[in-house]
Amino acid sequence: MKVGKLITGLVSGAAIGAAIGLLFAPKKGADTRKLITESGDSYLKGAKGKIDNLSDSLNQKVEAIKERSKSATSDSKAEEKYHDTKADIHDMRAS
């Protein structure tokens, strides 16, 4: 949800900036459009970089959770084996 708000804010800001730039531009229209296009591209590159960083961070966290899950699963299996072995030893002593 935060990423969606970020993108919406960036696009809205770029659109508002472009509109204001066109209204108050002291330069020729072609020059102003070029400047606006370059600014928009710059904002989009920045947003893409932030989204890529967020994606990488989330992927790292997911991988860490997977590793912890595998570790917890193997720990519980080891604990089950321990209890089974303990029960077998107890049965042997009882015989």
pLDDT digits (tens, 9 = 90+) for 19-67: 887 777 677 778 878 887 888 888 888 888 888 888 888 888 888 888 8
**In the predicted structure, residue 70 carries a pLDDT above the cut 80:** no
pLDDT score at 75: 63
As a whole number of angstroms, the distance between CA 15 and CA 25 comes to: 15
Indicate whether 5 pLDDT > 80: yes
pTM: 0.44
Candidates 1, 2, 3; CA nearest to 49 is 3
